[in-house]
Amino acid sequence: MKCIVHGDAHIGNTFISPTGEPGFLDWPVIHAASALHDVAYFIGGSMLIQDRRAHEKDLLQSYLSALKHTGGPKLGIEDVWEEYRR
């Protein structure tokens, strides 16, 4: 599952707009990659290893639910786990 990704999704490249919408800054490494690349990179770089391991599936499920709610595909953990872990 490929799409256009930010490529450097970390907390330092995020912002909240005046209307409360989140977004990403700094797009020089935009490229086509796994649709889960930015999700995995952001989670992996934002948490201590033990915290990530304890909450990773819940965070990914929350992301997948939000994706579906905003018009994206309906995917479950079992559909994406292997690709997410790459």
The pLDDT score that the predictor gives to residue 1 is 80
Taking the model in full, what pTM does it have?
Answer: 0.85
Say if residue 69's pLDDT is above 90: yes
Q: Break the chain into its structural domains and give their ranges.
A: 2-85
What 3-state class would DSSP assign to 5?
A: strand
Say if residue 29's pLDDT is above 90: yes
- What distance in Å separates the CA atoms of residue 6 and residue 10, rounded to the nearest whole number? 10
Give mean pLDDT, residues 78-83. 93
Question: Are 46 and 11 contacting, i.e. CB atoms less than 8 angstroms apart?
Answer: yes
Beta strands in 14-82, from DSSP E residues, in sequence order: 14-16, 22-24, 31-34
Positive/negative CA dihedral, 64, 72, 44, 24: negative
